[in-house]
Amino acid sequence: LRKASKRLTCHKRYKIQKKIREHHRKVRKEAKKRGRKKPKKDPGVPSAAPFKEELLREAEQRKQRLEELKQKQKLNRQKEHEKKRKLEAKKNATKIKEKAEGKVGKSSVKSKAKTNKLLDKNSKKSFCRELKKVIEASDVVLEVLDARDPMGCRCPQLEQAVTCSGGDKKLLLILNKIDLVPKENLEKWLNYLKKEFPTVAFKSATLMKDKTMFTKRRARVDLSRTTECFGSKCLLKLLQEHGKTQNKAIQVGVVGFPNVGKSSIINSLKGVRACNVGLARGVTKSMQIVHIDKQTKMLDSPSIIADPSNSALALALRSIIDTEESGSAGVLEGVDALLNHCSKQQVMMHYSIPDFRNTEEFLTLLAQKRGMLKKGGVPDIENIAKVLLCDWTGAKISYHSQPPGSQRLPPYLTEDKIAEMQECFNLKNLEEENNNTVQALKYPSPASSIIFQSAGMANGTIEENKVTEEASEWENLETSKEGEEEEEEDFTESDDDQDNVEEEEKVVKEVTRKAKLGKQQTSPTNSEKEMAESKHSNSLSFSLDKTGDEDDAYDFNTDYV
């Protein structure tokens, strides 16, 4: 059987159109009789409302952050699209070549060779090889120490290799990040360290965080320019004087554990961004030569590899493996060791978190506060642990450790060796320059800086033969196909970021609505407290770049009581 036709006669079709016109006319007539209601004018925030300025400022800041996040994600999506297109183009090109030449076997051998090269470049043995090159090639070795834990950044194996190498090789200690410790603590450490090696107080120049950041005038930020640094003149003067005594151009190697600021020091001395820097550990993978002037060459080196025999704290803070790639168990163990070596009350004050019984509860509270939640509102403990370790190795948190009570020289250091290391350097001028540097900077107060118990010197492996490679660490680099799959996964993740932006927009609208209504009562009700708690739990991961104090510009719980 055929289906019934939907065709109508002209009479019927015209009749329907007439009825529709009449209906529309009737609706317009009724609307005209009723009259149009004008939209209500926004009354704004009442001047009597408490914390009016803070509310409006917070809403404005959220809008600005949301716009910046959108721009950032748009640029990331464009990059990912380009990467995907390039990968597809490469795939098609290789397939066509293989079909034309009929050399499928040879291409598979080539791909394996490429992965082996990548593995070799990222392996621990390669890091040791490059580090040894730097030590052998340099006339002066700068061991960079984090001023917050100088003893934990010292490597006895490195110091022994330099002092016992013979010749005129010198070792200098660079105390970096001095603006993150109290002034009294810094002076104690300078007095302690100068008895063993010549020590320079240094504050390296910091770079802008992101290439894609825009100012209000839409001018792109120039990443090649650095901010002001302290101690660079003193260090350059010291090296130039040493070069004059040697009557030749000197090579200066910069060595140290991850994230102590080796590349940042070279950039500060050069005055331009010559070396790549980043929060990730192990950014520098090979020796890099930077010419400071005609008489001085700086050699940037990969990080020292922490020995597996070190304590959990030393491995958490000084390990070469990036926290993004390491296992969750190791990260949680590192955070546990970190909290055990700090004052619990100071940690609670810094992160604005209530009392906690164990590490897992602390991470749960911190994840809820910073909005790091999985589906269903479950706190993302693994990711917050990784972020915490990055904060402690980066330049965000101010903490300090006390120098040992008595001066005990390591077995490889004798009084003759100390005198040998100190000759050719004007120690009086060095002390004066250090004092000038110390006086020029602003420091955190001892009360705001967290007291930290150092685990002592961290053992490192310099010899390539002593390195034991971990198979699980580089399993992801087996084939180029897996790399392409990872690109696709990253691409899908950008869609999730878009959902997060939509959620953030809802939060912003809710905050602005609250700001406009203002507070009708002087004491906070239970419903307001619930709304404040839900706001904290729904805040997004981009607030992780802020410290605990900046997270809550306005807290509804701190209203008039």
Give the domain CATH number at 381.
1.10.1580
Same domain, 137 and 267: yes
**Are residues 77 and 494 in contact, defined by beta-carbon separation less than 8 angstroms?**
yes
The domain containing residue 316 runs over which residues? 312-393
Q: Is 356 a member of any domain?
A: yes
Helices 124-137 and 104-122 cross at an angle (nearest 10°) of 60
Q: Is 436 a member of any domain?
A: yes
Q: Is 360 a member of any domain?
A: yes
> Could you give the CA distance from residue 199 to residue 265 in angstroms, rounded to a whole number?
14
More confident site: 312 or 330: 312
Same domain, 303 and 168: yes
pLDDT in tens, 500-557: 545 555 554 554 555 444 444 334 444 444 444 444 444 434 344 444 444 444 444 4
With bands split at pLDDT 50, 70 and 90, how would you rate the model's confidence at 302? confident
* Averaged pLDDT of the chain: 76
Q: Is 419 a member of any domain?
A: yes
Q: What's residue 227's pLDDT?
A: 64
Please give the average per-residue pLDDT across 52-59, as a whole number: 86
pLDDT at 26 over 90: yes
Q: Which of 433, 461, 489 is the last residue of a domain?
A: 461
User: What does the CA dihedral 394, 395, 397, 399 come to, rounded to 10 degrees?
Assistant: 100
Same domain, 292 and 350: no
**Are residues 296 and 252 in contact, defined by beta-carbon separation less than 8 angstroms?**
yes
Q: What's residue 509's pLDDT?
A: 54
Same domain, 348 and 199: no
Same domain, 143 and 263: yes
**Are residues 147 and 260 in contact, defined by beta-carbon separation less than 8 angstroms?**
no
Same domain, 383 and 423: no
With bands split at pLDDT 50, 70 and 90, how would you rate the model's confidence at 11? very high
pLDDT at 224 over 50: no
**Are residues 265 and 176 in contact, defined by beta-carbon separation less than 8 angstroms?**
yes
Same domain, 246 and 336: no
Give me 43's structure tokens.
């009354």
CATH of the domain at 272: 3.40.50.300
Residues 6+ apart with CB under 8 A from 1: none
> Could you give the CA distance from residue 154 to residue 533 in angstroms, rounded to a whole number?
44
Q: What's residue 476's pLDDT?
A: 42
Same domain, 316 and 283: no
Please give the average per-residue pLDDT across 489-507, as a whole number: 47
Residue type present at position 205: A
Please give the average per-residue pLDDT across 109-126, as a whole number: 59
Q: Is 325 a member of any domain?
A: yes
Same domain, 337 and 239: no
Q: What's residue 165's pLDDT?
A: 81
Q: Which of 86-100, 175-189, 208-222 has the lowest mean pLDDT?
A: 208-222
Q: Is 416 a member of any domain?
A: yes
Same domain, 363 and 274: no
Q: What's residue 325's pLDDT?
A: 52
pLDDT in tens, 364-379: 999 999 888 888 889 9
Cα atoms in the 13 Å half-sphere on the side-chain side of 151: 20
Q: What's residue 273's pLDDT?
A: 82
In 3D, which of 237, 240, 285, 222 has the Cα closest to residue 258? 285
Q: With a threshold of 0.75, does the pTM exceed it? A: no
Q: Is 467 a member of any domain?
A: no
Element (H, E) at 415: helix 415-422
349-357: list long-range contacts, CB under 8 Å, 24+ apart: 350/397, 350/450, 350/547, 350/548, 351/548, 352/548, 352/549, 352/551, 352/552, 353/548
Same domain, 294 and 249: yes
- Number of structural domains (the chain) is 2
Same domain, 276 and 185: yes
Work out whether strand 399-400 and strand 140-146 pair parallel, antiparallel, or are unpaired: unpaired
Please give the average per-residue pLDDT across 205-217, as a whole number: 46
Q: Is 491 a member of any domain?
A: no
Neighbour-count burial of 212, counting CB atoms closer than 10 A to its CB (0-12 exposed, 13-18 middle, 19+ buried) = middle
